């Protein structure tokens, strides 16, 4: 596959959606969880979405419960939580698996284009890496995503240009998005 436009995903109602729908836009794809320490990332994500969507920016949100059971709710409960707590308006899709035999093909592709390179330096990052490694042992060589709120930046031609781990400062994510716009 050459671009993300080659993929279909399911919306929250279980209907297929071709990512070709987002052709020509700058896209940030993120796997999320409602009970994660990184859940406050929804706030700067929504701020970016409101500010940049008129310039051709989209955020595609894929809830995932594969990291310490931090998104056990139904699609409706997750949507309600995000809307009420963070005012999110960007598209949210069906809950997916991002690792293992049943990993959503989109995330397999994203991770193959931009593999994990570490959480960065610092004691918190080191601690998360140890915890993530323990959690992801069950997926073996199919542990494509290391934790919730991993973000992939897609350019207007559908190519994956950058991967941001959840430990990346959201200011850096915003700068990268703005540079593509």
Q: Which residues are the active-site residues? A: 36
Q: What are phi and psi of 111, to 5 degrees?
A: -70, -30
Decide: 74 and 80 in contact? Cβ < 8 Å: no
CB atoms within 10 A of CB 79: 16
Tokens of 89: 């308006």
Decide: 63 and 33 in contact? Cβ < 8 Å: yes
**First vs last C-alpha separation in the chain:** 25
| Three-state SS annotation for 70-123 | CCCCCHHHHHHHHHHHHCCCCCEECCECCCCCCCCHHHHHHHHHCCCCCCCCCH
Please report, for residues 3, 63, 64, 149, the alpha-carbon distance to residue 6 in angstroms, rounded to integers and kept in the order given.
6, 21, 22, 23
């Amino acid at each position: 596959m050459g671009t993300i436009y080659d993929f279909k995903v399911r919306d929250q109602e279980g209907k297929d959606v071709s990512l070709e729908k987002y052709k020509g836009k700058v896209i940030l794809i993120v796997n999320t969880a409602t009970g994660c320490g990184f859940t406050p990332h929804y706030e700067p994500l929504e701020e970016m979405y409101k500010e940049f969507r008129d310039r051709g920016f989209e955020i595609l949100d894929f809830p995932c419960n594969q990291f310490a059971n931090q998104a056990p709710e139904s699609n409706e409960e997750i949507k309600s939580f995000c809307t009420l707590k963070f005012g999110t308006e960007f598209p949210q899709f069906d809950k997916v698996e991002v690792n293992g035999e049943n990993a959503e093909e989109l995330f397999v592709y994203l991770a193959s284009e931009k593999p994990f390179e570490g959480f960065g330096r610092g004691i918190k990052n080191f601690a998360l890496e140890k915890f993530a490694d323990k959690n992801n042992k069950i997926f073996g060589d199919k542990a494509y995503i290391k934790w919730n709120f991993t973000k992939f930046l897609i350019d207007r031609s559908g190519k994956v240009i950058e991967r941001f781990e959840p430990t990346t400062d959201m200011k850096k994510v915003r700068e990268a998005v703005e540079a593509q716009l």
